[in-house]
Structure 1
Amino acid sequence: MSIEAGSKLEGKVTGITHFGAFVELPGGSTGLVHISEVADNYVKDINEFLKVGDEVTVKVVNVEKDGKIGLSIRKAQDRPERSERPERPANSERPNRPYQQRSNRPQGGSRGGGQRQNQSRPSTLSFEDKMSRFLKDSEERISTLKRQTESKRGGRGARRG
C-alpha cells in the first residue's frame, strides 16, 4: 500500500519521545506524529495523550524523499466547519482616532533649539511619512534617555569611586 500525503490511516503507537510519537502504519512503515500535531491545545507531556500500543487515526501530512513520514492526529479528527469571521468594518465605519501627542514627551526646548511643530496632523499620511515621523520621534526619545542617563552617571569620562 502506497502512503500519500492527505490520506487518513489507522496506526499503532510503537514509541514515544519528548518530541512526538512513532506510529506503525499498515504495510509496516513507521511515521512520526510531532508533539504539536497530537491535539488542538498545547501539549506539554505527550504521555498524557498517548501510550505505546494505542490505536490511533492519523493523517499523512508529508512523505519525504528519504522515506520519513510526517503524521498528524489532530488533522485526522473530523471537526465541524468553523463559521466565517465577520467582515471587518470599512474605514468609514470605524471610529476616527486623531493623532494625539503623548503627555510624557518633553515639550520644546530640546538641544537643537526651536519649538516643536504643531502636532495636529492630517490622518492621510503615506506610509513613508509615518515611518519618517516614527524614526524622528524615536531618535528624539533615545537622545533624551541618553542625556538623562549620562547626567545620572556624571557625564562621559566620569571617574567611578
Structure 2
Amino acid sequence: MSVEVGAKYKGKITGITKFGAFVDLGEKQNGLVHISEVSNDYVNDIHDVLSVGDEVTVKVLSISEDGKIALSIRRCLEPKKETTPAKKDAMKKKAPMNKRKKQVDFESLMSDFLKTSEENLSSLRRNTEGKRGGRGGRRS
C-alpha cells in the first residue's frame, strides 16, 4: 500500500507520547499524529482522548524526505457546529458605531481635545512643581 498525501486511512494507535500518537497504517507504514492534530478542542493530555489499540481514521498531511508521515485525526472530523446562533443575530441587529453616535464635526472634537489636554497638563504641573527634586520644580 502506497501512502499518499491528502488520503484518508484507517489505522491503529501503537504508541502514545506527550507530543502525539503513533499510528500503524499497515504494511510496515507508521505515522505520527501530533497532539495539535488530535481534536478540534484543546488537548492538555493526549491520554484523555486516545489510548493504545484504538482504531482511528487519519488523513495524511505530509511525507518528509526521510519517510516520516505526518497524520491528522482532527481533519477527518466533521466541522464543529456553531452552538450559539442567537449571539450572531444579536450582533447583526446592533447599529454600527458611527450611526449610534450623533454626528460630530471636527471643530467640536478639536475643542474637546484641547480642553482635556490643558486640564491634564495643568494637573501634571501642579503635582510636579511643588515637590523637591521633581523635574521642572522651583528651587529656593
- Tell me the TM-score normalized by structure 2: 0.61
Could you say which structure has the higher helix fraction?
2
Cα separation, 1, equivalents of 2:29 and 2:50 = 19
CA deviation map 1:40-74 (0-9, x unaligned): 11111100111111111111111111211110112
**Relative contact order, higher structure (CA 8 A, sep 6+):** 2
Cα separation, 1, equivalents of 2:11 and 2:44 = 23
Specify which of 89, 93, 96 is matched with residue 94 of structure 1: 96
Cα separation, 2, equivalents of 1:49 and 1:81 = 17
Cα separation, 2, equivalents of 1:71 and 1:31 = 6
Amino acid at match of 1:94: P
Shift of 1:10: 1.0
Task: Judge conservation of contact 2:58–2:76 (CA < 8 Å) in 1.
Answer: yes
Which residue of structure 2 aligns with residue 107 of structure 1? Answer: 116
Unaligned runs of at least 5 residues, structure 2: 83-87, 136-140
Unaligned runs of at least 5 residues, structure 1: 113-146, 157-161
% identical equivalent positions: 50
Question: How many residues are paired up?
Answer: 114
Runs of 4+ in 1 over 2 A off after TM superposition: 79-83, 93-101, 105-110, 151-156
* 1:37–1:108 Cα change, 3 Å: closer
Cα separation, 2, equivalents of 1:14 and 1:30 = 9
Measured on the aligned residues, the alpha-carbon RMSD in Å equals 4.0
Task: Judge conservation of contact 2:9–2:25 (CA < 8 Å) in 1.
Answer: yes
Which residue of structure 1 aligns with residue 134 of structure 2? Answer: 155
* 1:80–1:49 Cα change, 3 Å: closer
